[in-house]
Amino acid sequence: MNKLILASAISTVLLSGCGGSDDNDDNITNPEPTQAEFSLGVSDAPVSNVKAVWVAFDSITLNAGDGEMPTFETRSEENPDQPVMVNLLDYTGDDVFALIDNELVAAGDYEWLRADIVNGDMANIEMTSHLVYNDDTVVPLVVTRKGNDGIGEIQINDFTLVSGDNDFVLEFDLKKSLVNPSNSNEVKLKPTGIRLENLAQVEDIEGVVSQQLVQNCETDNADIAPATGGFGHAVYLYNSDVSEPKDLYLDGETVAADAPIATGGVSFDEEDERYEFEIGFVAPGEYQLAYTCAAHIDDAEILDQSFTLYQQQTVTVTSGEDAQVTFDIAQ
């Protein structure tokens, strides 16, 4: 991936008196602005029924609010003329694909970060954003923005870059982000399920779900068993003060206060012979965590009364260490 290096000009004003100069009084140099090294990666929380979610990243722009808007083109290492293509499903949990690495920008508060995405186009589907279902069906993946120029925008507001290293990640929670509108031949990627996190300020939640609990959940929810494929096993993360945790449903573009902050898939590890999960990039604090086997019916666009959480527990995320959680029938 080629990087766009931004050059900043620092002007120096030298005031000289007639007949000589005074180093203490006559030389005035504008101070060099505080610099930040900015790195950005992408990661995701997976979704059921798809085998690939390819996103074509064209550029990243930062808005400092003072007229400065550094922009970094993100390009393929194999073909510098093409946007970099990332299969988000290759980078789940705390795995990260690096888009930008140690670029120099001014430290301070920023109004927003914007990722420009090349929207899916069936005429050039391999080099534009697209989704591949488990049955190998390929559909365009698009992000909405004003205009019709083939570019979508993901914008995240309000973040700070400090002097020195700043490692950030765009976390795509695909269960919350992917929407398949009725009578449409494309899938929409909604920014409502995307977080910008500072890696210096977050930890991971990792854990296991016992096989017996998984079997019990499927038995107790036999009435919602999918006609094809398997149950949707997942864990949902909620704020600690949510009294009645709900599903992923979005009322328009609004995320409900009792909706999950993040989700993580539960998958069977053949080597360890157990069900495992991971939710990456969680700020320290108190939370509620819930296991469900009904994630396959949880659609962000539909309020489904059949969706239930099977087991819940509290979890504390502490700075400097990952949280470990176990779901079991004994709880």
3-state SS, one letter per residue, for the chain: CCCCCCCCCCCEEECCECCECCCCCCEEECCCCCEEEEEEEEEEECCCCEEEEEEEEEEEEEECCCCCCCEEECECCCCCCCEEEEEHHHCECCCCEEEEEEEEEECEEEEEEEEEEECCCHHHHHHCCEEEECCCCEEEEECCCCCCCCEEEEEEEEEEECCEEEEEEEEEEHHHHEECCCCCCCEEECHHHEEEEEHHHCEEEEEEECHHHHHHHHHHCHHHCCCCCCCECEEEEEECCCCCCCCCCEECCEECCCCCCEEEEEEEECCCCEEEEEEEEECCEEEEEEEECEHHHCCCCCCCCCCCCCEEEEEEECCCCCEEEEECCCC
Q: Is residue 226 in a domain?
A: yes
Domain that holds residue 59: 12-201
Q: What is the pLDDT of residues 23-65, one digit of tens each?
A: 554 455 555 668 999 999 999 998 888 999 999 999 999 999 8
Last residue of a domain, one of 168, 201, 234: 201
User: Do residues 172 and 222 both lie within one domain?
Assistant: no
pLDDT band at 3 (very low <50, low <70, confident <90, very high): very low
- Residue 18 scores a pLDDT above 50: no
Q: Is residue 176 in a domain?
A: yes
Last residue of a domain, one of 152, 173, 201: 201
User: Do residues 185 and 226 both lie within one domain?
Assistant: no
Q: What is the pLDDT of residues 209-259, one digit of tens each?
A: 999 999 999 999 999 999 888 999 999 999 999 988 988 887 666 667 888
User: Do residues 187 and 275 both lie within one domain?
Assistant: no
- Residue 308 scores a pLDDT above 90: yes
Q: Is residue 2 in a domain?
A: no
User: Do residues 176 and 227 both lie within one domain?
Assistant: no
User: Do residues 176 and 234 both lie within one domain?
Assistant: no
- Residue 191 scores a pLDDT above 60: yes
User: Do residues 237 and 224 both lie within one domain?
Assistant: yes
- Residue 2 scores a pLDDT above 80: no
pLDDT of 181 reads 63
CATH number at residue 287: 2.60.40.1120
Domain count, the chain: 2
Output 166 or 243, whichever has higher pLDDT: 166
Average confidence (pLDDT) over 163-190: 88
The pTM assigned to this predicted structure is 0.84
- Residue 305 scores a pLDDT above 90: no
